[in-house]
Structure 1
Amino acid sequence: MDLFGLLKTREWEPLDVSEVRVVARDLLVALNALKNAGVTHADIKPDNIVLVNHQSQPFRVKLIDFGVAMETHKLWRYDTIQVCGFRAPEVNLGLPLTEAVDMWAVACTLAYIFLGDHVHNTICEFNNMRQIFKLHGLPDQDLLGKGTKVDRFFIFDQSNQTWRFKTPQEYTETIIIDGDHHDIALDSIDDFLTINPEIQDPFELEDLQAFVDLLKKMFTVNPSERITPEEALNHRFITMSHLPPTSNNSYVISAYEKMKTADNKSNLFDLNLSDYDLSDSDLCELEDSNSDLSDLDTDEPVNTSELDVDKFQKADLSNFKQYDSELEAR
């Protein structure tokens, strides 16, 4: 079952923040391994994240479907990657692309399972970008000047030499669907802190604050400033450094138990290449048959023999040994 199916079976009841952490940790481990291997997944979304064994290891997940994955240094060849709603803004703006696009998609996924709904519009590119800039801020003017597709969404004001986001009336390249908006009214990611008034436990509130802080870093509009997988794995939301492991608080105990159960006493940081379905048949360049990715200029396949499989399997996660020990101790 994938994450979309999980929410559907729960009748769209969101995951609580301690459950989101289990998913986040596994996805960040996968991103760290991919970064070390020089690979970008390019299609991270709830449908491509499956539960390992929800009965014995609740919320433990793995990343699948590497059908459009590619070596990161070849991202520049493609005009469009990712689906609307999980697409990083730099893709729509025609900016240089890096593996940071995957981090953006993971952030969208984590927000989705926490809200039980999409945080950004998934239908109309204009509304999607408008919501992104409303929630996360506008790109720097210098950054906009480097984009090859910036004029799809922005107009350059000659009077003050700045880029201005278009109005719906000025945006005529794509039809804007009437009434196409997001059901959850958000003014900023900080609204996550108050969206569920039932959260009253001080430790859970602090945990939620840590989650929101991580999300903000993942949703940084400038890709060069976006948090990296290694940095995210060191963030307090993942390491749980803000939750005392010896506390008798019921939320804290439950949060540690969820992580421990998900690990099921396995080595949390011993990556196995097969866990991520990364094979010669699955790891390939984008194909013309992909309707969202039709502007290809080459059919050259990824040379998987050039990938550093050893780095992929042995991602440097030594900084988390203490955390692993704390899980075993509980």
Structure 2
Amino acid sequence: MGALNNHQYAEEDGEIIEPSRPSGRRLAHSALLARTVAAEKETPSPLTRTSKRQRSPEKVYVPGDKPRSSTLDSKAAKVDDKRATVNTGAANEATADEEDIDIDALLRDNDDEDERFLEERRKRRREILLKFENSDAHDPDSHIRGSRPDASVAEDSGFLLEKTNAKAAPNSEGLSAADYSPDRDSNEDDVRHRIAAKQTAAAARRDIPAKDDSDDDFDMFADDDAVDTSSNVPKSGAISAAVTTAMADNWDDADGYYQIIIGEKLDGRYLVQSFLGQGVFSSVVKALDIENDNKPVAIKLIRSNEIMQQAGIKEQQILERLHETDKTGRSHVVRLLGSFMHRNHLCLCFELLGMNLREVVRKFGRDSGLSLQAVRVYGMQLMLALDHLRKNRVLHGDLKPDNCFVSEQRSVAKLGDLGSACDVEENEITPYLVSRFYRAPEIILGMPYDYAIDMWSLGVTLFELYTGKIMFPGRNNNEMLRLMMEARGHFSSRVLRRGQLWQQHFEDNGGSMMDFVSRSTDKVSNRTTTQRMAFTKPTKDIKSRVLSATPSDSAAEEIQTALRFAQLLDRCLELSPEKRITPDEALQHPFFATPKIK
């Protein structure tokens, strides 16, 4: 259904109240109705769809913009109608006995009747709007009718992070996104297998036989294989400068991480303030740039390892390329400020941001998730980041809430940690690329992949932000596929046959749909059992899960926005990567064009 036609609606009301020979009372009603309709034309409904030319991106995130009170409008209309009637001599059109009617007394005597009339009119309008909402929510082509917002309007400090509705009950179903800790991925086994994987790839390019240190069942991003390595890192994550004398030239720990020293000056200008964290490839510290008014920065110290150093150089090159094509810094990718070497460690200096999005969910949306308004702002900004990567032919390769960072005011989100990023042409087949919960199906199935893997990861991330729950908490790749089919339906045989690894998870029955072979391991007996399963329709569809995370007493406008959000996720999480929405298309989706929720 198109935009609501207020003119037709007014005529419909006019036909109800206007007889062929109007009385003084009806003249007053007609004047009142005309004034009210004119006011509504000047203030269109926020749910009314506009064309590309009419839609202004600036209205997406502008706070306020509340429509004028209908009560005030009706009072103002009565005063204006009185003046208009007197000034234009409308009484001359009535009969002689009607010319003596006191308009002021008439309006006072009929206030109650006016209110009943307007309430009936409002009720009919709501019914029409509801019909419009239902029609728009099921429009499969509505995503192409929006206009892409400009990057300059993607930042907004006027939104709330929490779901403010008092009846918003926590969502108890599923694994909490706030409680999941990706830090367990950075354990000794993970490090060994990551290094082995890169050594194997490098050896293959040089035609040198590589040492076989692989494990077919090992998932480099899995939690199941995690071991505690906290004993390798000082409790504070750093050591005091007072003990550096005893260290002599031994600046690294056993795994090649630089042992952080609080108060140390790096590259002659960066004064180390605190230890921020440690990942597989590096350690990160907060420092002050004493040559730039003590501006705080984040410095990433790559591990002293040839493979890790090469990965760090690759990240540096990609970040420099992204910066060259975004001089204004509007792409929402964390900015690289510089690089240097320190005690045989490559160091990358970045702008310092605040929390990552998992920490934001933990603080403001535990179990219940963030507000739709916050999800829309962060989602738009991260879509802009993916669009920038795509234009530079770059895959992020590990998009998740932990690698998306927000400003101190929490109004701006940026995509960071490009340690797994690569050129789109370097898409080597591996079933363990991307953290498991955010891994696209084509990676698991061994299919050729491209930019669509990042869109899948972002779709899962946005679902997580709104619901507060992990969307696909599979313990291994096989369980990940099962959870995907529960939400999205079955894979076609045509899609599966394009992969190199589909036979690990499916059996060909000769039909258009293969049978899924579910494998589970008993933790007590360590025995693996298999079960053949056939999926037809989704049993845990996205729309139902999004609505279950929406407060039950939400306004119609917010429910409509939630439906548009579910529609966007449908496009982000297409099982076939060719059908998945692109960042540019997503930025034109009605979810990002919806007026700000009050």
1:208 aligned to which of 562, 568, 589: 562
Tell me whether 1:39 sits opposite 2:391 in the alignment: no
- What code does the residue aligned with 2:557 have? F
Separation (CA, whole Å) in 2 of partners of 1:105 and 1:212: 15
Separation (CA, whole Å) in 2 of partners of 1:253 and 1:161: 44
- What code does the residue aligned with 1:146 have? R
Provide the residue aligned with 1:52 in structure 2: 407
- Displacement of 1:46 after TM fit? 0.7
- What code does the residue aligned with 2:547 have? L
Say which is worse superposed, 129-138 or 195-204, in terms of deviation: 195-204
1:226 aligned to which of 575, 580, 590: 580
- Displacement of 1:167 after TM fit? 3.1
2:495 aligned to which of 143, 152, 161: 143
- Displacement of 1:151 after TM fit? 1.0
Provide the residue aligned with 1:22 in structure 2: 377
- Displacement of 1:79 after TM fit? 4.5
How big is each residue's C-alpha offset from its partner over 1:193-216, in whole Å with a ceiling of 9 and x where there is no partner?
A: 233343420110111111000000
- Displacement of 1:117 after TM fit? 1.2
Separation (CA, whole Å) in 2 of partners of 1:63 and 1:161: 39
Alignment map for 1:173-184 (pairs within 5 Å): none
Secondary structure of the equivalent of 2:399? coil
Separation (CA, whole Å) in 1 of partners of 2:397 and 2:541: 26
TM-aligned CA distance change 1:199 to 1:214, over 3 Å: farther
Of the two structures, which has the highest relative contact order with CA contacts closer than 8 Å and spacing of 6 or more?
1
Q: Is the Cα–Cα contact under 8 Å of residues 199 and 205 in structure 1 kept in the other structure?
A: no
Say which is worse superposed, 196-205 or 216-225, in terms of deviation: 196-205
TM-aligned CA distance change 1:213 to 1:68, over 3 Å: same
Provide the residue aligned with 1:263 in structure 2: none
Flag the structure with higher strand content: 2
Say which is worse superposed, 96-105 or 13-22, in terms of deviation: 13-22
How big is each residue's C-alpha offset from its partner over 1:264-318, in whole Å with a ceiling of 9 and x where there is no partner?
A: xxxxxxxxxxxxxxxxxxxxxxxxxxxxxxxxxxxxxxxxxxxxxxxxxxxxxxx
TM-aligned CA distance change 1:169 to 1:87, over 3 Å: closer
Separation (CA, whole Å) in 2 of partners of 1:42 and 1:210: 27
Alignment map for 1:160-179 (pairs within 5 Å): 160=511, 162-168=513-519
Instruction: Return the TM-score normalized by structure 2.
Output: 0.37
Separation (CA, whole Å) in 1 of partners of 2:411 and 2:460: 17
- What code does the residue aligned with 1:37 have? N
- What code does the residue aligned with 1:167 have? S
- Displacement of 1:5 after TM fit? 1.0
Secondary structure of the equivalent of 2:472? coil
- What code does the residue aligned with 1:165 have? F
What is the percentage of aligned positions where both structures have the same residue?
27
- What code does the residue aligned with 1:20 have? V
Separation (CA, whole Å) in 1 of partners of 2:559 and 2:379: 18
What RMSD over aligned residues (CA atoms) do the two structures have, in Å?
A: 2.4
Separation (CA, whole Å) in 2 of partners of 1:215 and 1:253: 19
The count of aligned residue pairs is 230
- Displacement of 1:48 after TM fit? 0.2
Q: Is the Cα–Cα contact under 8 Å of residues 427 and 449 in structure 2 kept in the other structure?
A: yes
TM-aligned CA distance change 1:175 to 1:28, over 3 Å: farther
Q: Is the Cα–Cα contact under 8 Å of residues 44 and 102 in structure 1 kept in the other structure?
A: yes
Instruction: Return the TM-score normalized by structure 1.
Output: 0.65
Separation (CA, whole Å) in 2 of partners of 1:86 and 1:50: 17
Tell me whether 1:235 sits opposite 2:589 in the alignment: yes
- What code does the residue aligned with 2:404 have? I
How big is each residue's C-alpha offset from its partner over 1:63-104, in whole Å with a ceiling of 9 and x where there is no partner?
A: 000001000111135453101110000100011101100000
Separation (CA, whole Å) in 2 of partners of 1:89 and 1:155: 17
How big is each residue's C-alpha offset from its partner over 1:127-164, in whole Å with a ceiling of 9 and x where there is no partner?
A: 22111011012222111111100011111124x47521
Provide the residue aligned with 1:155 in structure 2: 507
